[in-house]
Amino acid sequence: MDRKKFIQTSGLGLGLALVPGIANSKQLFNKVAPPNNPSPKIIKDSEGDVLNVIGDIQTHKLVGGDTNGQIVEWVDNVDPGVGIPPHIHTKEDEVFRVIKGQVEIMVDGKTIVLEAGDTAFAPKNIPHSWKVVGTEKAKMITSAFPAGIEIMFRELADLPPGPPDFEKVATICGNHGISFL
């Protein structure tokens, strides 16, 4: 059989085979929920949901509900000496962008001091930590993707004031796929 005849013959057979599927495709598409298209959002520097997460003052700008679960972003306004000990995320990657001050960050065993304009990336399953160094308060924009970690931050912010109970903190974090080293 030559090429032209094969295409004509197989095309007709393929068309007949697909007709029942095409006829029922409307039913198929009606069963699939349309994606949740997030709405645009503009957030001024002074706006957002402020949480005190064990001394890390976070202003949440975007959360999963705003971004269809893609990303959460917050601004850390943190005093010198405040930081997060070495830990590992199993669910999300993080990006840290220093806007003001100095933040010592460790990612995968490498430690460096970030200053205004510097950025660090900590992929999931890689140990990392950070701490504000120097004498001035630091401002850092942190993004995590996918979203979801904001739920953990809310739980941590709801803990009673005073020195944190590390066992409770570790349990809450563990429930969200984060473990301390």
pLDDT digits (tens, 9 = 90+) for 27-71: 433 444 445 788 899 999 999 999 999 989 999 999 999 999 999
Among 6-20, 36-50, 79-93, which is the least confidently predicted range?
A: 6-20
Would the pLDDT of 11 be above 70? no
Q: Round the CA-based radius of gyration of the chain to a whole number and report it.
A: 25
Q: Where are the domains of the chain?
A: 1-32, 49-180
Q: Among candidates 10, 3, 51, which has minimal Cα distance to 159?
A: 51
| Average pLDDT rounded to a whole number, residues 114-136 | 97
Residue given tokens 């709405």 in the structure block: 39
DSSP class of residue 162? S
pLDDT (0 to 100) of residue 37: 81
* 51 contacts 154 by C-beta, under 8 angstroms: yes
Write down the pTM of the prediction: 0.78
pLDDT (0 to 100) of residue 8: 47
Task: State the average pLDDT for the chain.
Answer: 86
pLDDT (0 to 100) of residue 72: 98
pLDDT (0 to 100) of residue 33: 42
pLDDT (0 to 100) of residue 35: 58
| Average pLDDT rounded to a whole number, residues 141-159 | 97
| Average pLDDT rounded to a whole number, residues 99-112 | 98
Q: Among candidates 181, 59, 58, 172, which has minimal Cα distance to 126?
A: 181
Domain 49-180, CATH homologous superfamily name and number: Jelly Rolls (2.60.120.10)
Torsion, Cα of 156, 45, 68, 57 (10° steps) = -10
Q: Where are the alpha helices (DSSP H) in 32-158?
A: 64-67, 149-157
| Alpha-carbon span 85 to 140, nearest angstrom | 17
Q: Among candidates 124, 87, 117, which has minimal Cα distance to 103?
A: 117
pLDDT (0 to 100) of residue 162: 86
